[in-house]
Amino acid sequence: MDKNYDLPIDAALFPEGCTRCSLSKFLVWITIVMAVFGWGLYAAYRVLAEGLGVTGLDDYFGFGLWITFDLAVIALGAGAFFTGLLRYILNIDPLKNIINLTVIVGFLCYSGAMLVLVLDVGQPLRAWFGYWHANVHSMLTEVIFCITCYCLVLVIEYVPLILEQKQLNRNKLVHAIAHNFHLMMPLFAGIGAFLSTFHQGSLGGMYGVLFARPYIARDGFFIWPWTFFLYVLSAVGSGPVFTVLVCTIMEKMTGKQLVSWEIKSLMGKIAGTMLTVYMVFKLADTWAWANDILPRSGLTFDQVFYGWIYGKWLLWAELFACGVLPAILLIIPSTRNNRTLFYTAAILDCIGVTINRYVMTVQALAAPVMPFDTWETYAPNWAEWGASAMIMAYAALILSLSYRYLPVFPQEVKLNK
């Protein structure tokens, strides 16, 4: 057979019928990604070698950028479990066109969060104590259990996609394994939905149970504070559009259409619906917090905000500009189908959930509880930014490789004819 020497040197590895940029162009991109990764790796080395003292964390802010980053990416990675639930359990078939990407994004978010946690805990070699000496009363125990288990589920969901790589799949055994994995996918989607719902909730529950911290303490139902349910809802209200945003960024970078507009719009509709439900409860929760929990603790609404850095603008931005507004834009068909408004809403939605995780993590710790205590402020330093950038670079690397060599987007060939 004649070889086509115009094709990139690694063209034999590309998904069937797909074109990709030249290998040298790809390697330039990977070099940039690896440069960022290297910076983060140096930060990680310094943290592990010298201790967490090299970060901007302190005794008031035991949680900072990394925990905010973790909670935000875990919420935004919720597209994986929720789309999986809708695709495999509720049989919403069109979602098959984006399900692979949701799995990869979910895997990256969860594995990235776990990598950050390796740096964030003071004694990473004792991480297994979470299983061995588990405290069943702690929400964090539940988070440790579910996040690690769910990350394994995401690996299982990602594996068949790797096995479907064109050259690998020529092997009969690999082909059979990939096929059988696919048959089992509804089971894993179910397990994933169960695990993910619980740990999304437990991450919120982690904060709600802190009864001596009025900024985040919440009443609740049985053992679950309201934040448990709010975190589940906010995750499924933002995760699907985050996947769409990742997809769109990939489209802009590659110059190709990867997922049809109908699918993106459907993801927006799903997220918008869940975001609307979330906002109803979030507004009610905020009202109850301001009018019951705070006065019960001897505090006024004004007392839990401070200057510009922890000002009320964050709350209003979270609730209205990045909550109610995107919910409205996403549930009304006419605004949802306007691409500018759709993407604006998607971005605002993701910013809103990130603000929520930030204030619940950082502002909660900044707010003094003892009347003679003072407001303190927190700014992450280079080591924390570096390690976070490392995770972003890791995600960019895996996404780039997956896009180049794996059949991630079933519609790609058709949409780019």
Partner 1 sequence: MSSFKEFKIKWGMAIDLDKCTGCGACMVACQAENNIAPQPDASNKLKSLNWLVVYELTNGKSFPEHEVAYLPRPCMQCGKPSCVSVCPVIATDKNEEGGIVSQVYPRCIGCRYCMASCPYHARYFNWFDPTWPEGMDKTLTPDVSVRPRGVVEKCSFCHHRFMQAKDKARVEGRDPNALNDGDYITSCTEACPNGAIVFGDVNNPAHKVHELVKSKYAFRLLERLGTDPQVYYLSRREWVRRLGDNYLENEKVKG
**104 makes contact with partner 1 (CB under 8 A):** no
Q: Residue 220, SS3?
A: strand
**292 makes contact with partner 1 (CB under 8 A):** no
* Interatomic CA distance for residues 288 and 134, integer angstroms: 33
With respect to partner 1, which residue has the nearer C-beta, 10 or 50?
50
**Summary count for the chain: helices (H), strands (E):** 17, 2
With respect to partner 1, which residue has the nearer C-beta, 53 or 307?
53
Beta bridge partners, 248, equal none
**46 makes contact with partner 1 (CB under 8 A):** no
Tokens standing for 83? 């789309």
- Centroid of chain to Cα 82: 12
With respect to partner 1, which residue has the nearer C-beta, 60 or 343?
60
Stretch that binds partner 1, among 37-45, 139-147, 252-260, 395-403 (CB under 8 A): 139-147
**206 makes contact with partner 1 (CB under 8 A):** yes
With respect to partner 1, which residue has the nearer C-beta, 255 or 371?
371
With respect to partner 1, which residue has the nearer C-beta, 59 or 93?
59
With respect to partner 1, which residue has the nearer C-beta, 295 or 333?
295
Burial 148-160 (b: 16+ CB within 10 A, else e): bbbbebbebbbeb
Among 2, 6, 133, 308, binds partner 1 (CB under 8 A): 133
**221 makes contact with partner 1 (CB under 8 A):** no
**139 makes contact with partner 1 (CB under 8 A):** yes
- Angle, helix 96-120 to helix 382-405, in steps of 10 degrees: 150
**209 makes contact with partner 1 (CB under 8 A):** yes
**212 makes contact with partner 1 (CB under 8 A):** yes
Q: What does the DSSP assignment read for 122-139?
A: S-GGGTTHHHHT--TT-H
User: Which stretch of DSSP H or E encloses residue 396?
Assistant: helix 382-405
> What binding mask, one character per residue, do residues 366-405 give for partner 1 by CB under 8 A, x or -?
---xxxxx--x-----------------------------
At its nearest, how many Å lie between partner 1 and the CB of residue 56? 10
Under 8 Å between Cβ of 361 and 384: no
With respect to partner 1, which residue has the nearer C-beta, 144 or 156?
144
Q: Which residues contact 405 (CB under 8 A, 6 or more apart)?
A: 10, 13, 14, 15, 165
Tokens standing for 84? 């999986």
Q: Phi, psi (5° rounding) for residue 234?
A: -70, -30
At its nearest, how many Å lie between partner 1 and the CB of residue 141? 4
Kindly determine how many residues on this chain lie close enough to bind partner 1 according to the rule CB under 8 A. Answer: 53
Binding site for partner 1 (CB under 8 A): 50-53, 57-63, 120-123, 126-127, 129-130, 132-135, 137-141, 143-144, 206, 209-214, 223, 295-300, 303, 364-365, 369-373, 376
